[in-house]
Structure formats: C-alpha cells, structure tokens
Amino acid sequence: MSLIPRNSMFDFDHLFDRFRTPDLLSDKQKSSFTPRVEVREKAHQYLISAELPGIEKEDVEVTLENGVLCIQAESHQEDKEEKDGRIIRQERRYGKFVRTFNLGNGVKQEDIDAKFKNGILTLTVPKPEIKPDNSRKIDIH
C-alpha cells in the first residue's frame, strides 16, 4: 500500500505546475485548494484525517475505485451584498479539491469508516492482509 498522495511533491505529472506564476494559472486552478492531511499508522489500520474548514458534511464525497481512495469536496463562496463597506482583502480559499491515496486492491469500500466532525474528516482504513510469498527456490542440477 502506498499512502503517498498523488498530488504530493512526488507527483511528477504536476511537478512543474508549482513553479508557474499565479498570472498564468487558469481560473479553475486559482479557485482550487488542497486541505492539510495527516496519515497515521496503527497496528491494524491507517487513520487519515483531512482538515476541511468551512465545508459542510453534505459537500464531501469519499470514494474507492480500483484501490484508489478519493476525497473530494467543494467550498462555496458566499455572494452577499456589502451594505456598509467593501472587502479589501480576501484570503479564504474557495473551490473544489481532490486528494487521492493509493490503497492497493486489498481494501474494500465497506471496510472503510468515515466520520466528519468540526471540519475534520477522519477515515479509518484497515490494513490489507499481507499474503505470504509462495515463491520457492528451485534447485539447479
């Protein structure tokens, strides 16, 4: 099982995207964000926690397909009219994000437990059973 996120610094498909200036980014890329994720290993399971501040539980989707765990959500910007002033600086991020983790084929969707509380998504993923290697040395005559 490889728990290195696909959009980490080891994701060579998007390595050079990090060096582009903000002016060259598309509107879609400017509006996306990446939540902070913590992965802990325990004896029989992994705990994956993602910080999702300002996101409602209903806007979070977790899927498992072909051994790849996918966490995605969308944060919506409030469109409200300012009656007494204006926004001078806005540092909140809005948009859609996707984080993926390669779990391998030994994990089943029904075995993953997901909880969402106070803006933190916590996934409990069982470690897949490691099957003993059935290879045997062949004697050479």
The domain segmentation of the chain, as residue ranges, is 1-18+27-76+95-128
User: Which DSSP state fits 31?
Assistant: H
CA end-to-end span of the chain, whole Å? 38
Fold of 1-18+27-76+95-128: Immunoglobulin-like (2.60.40)
Which of 34, 112, 33, 97 minimizes the C-alpha distance to 67?
112
**Reported pTM:** 0.63
Q: How far is 94 from 125, CA to CA, in rounded Å?
A: 28
Query: pLDDT of 35-94, one tens digit each?
Result: 789 999 999 999 999 998 888 899 999 999 999 999 998 877 665 656 677 777 766 667
For residues 7, 107, 115 and 43, what is the CA-based torsion angle, rounded to 10 degrees? -100
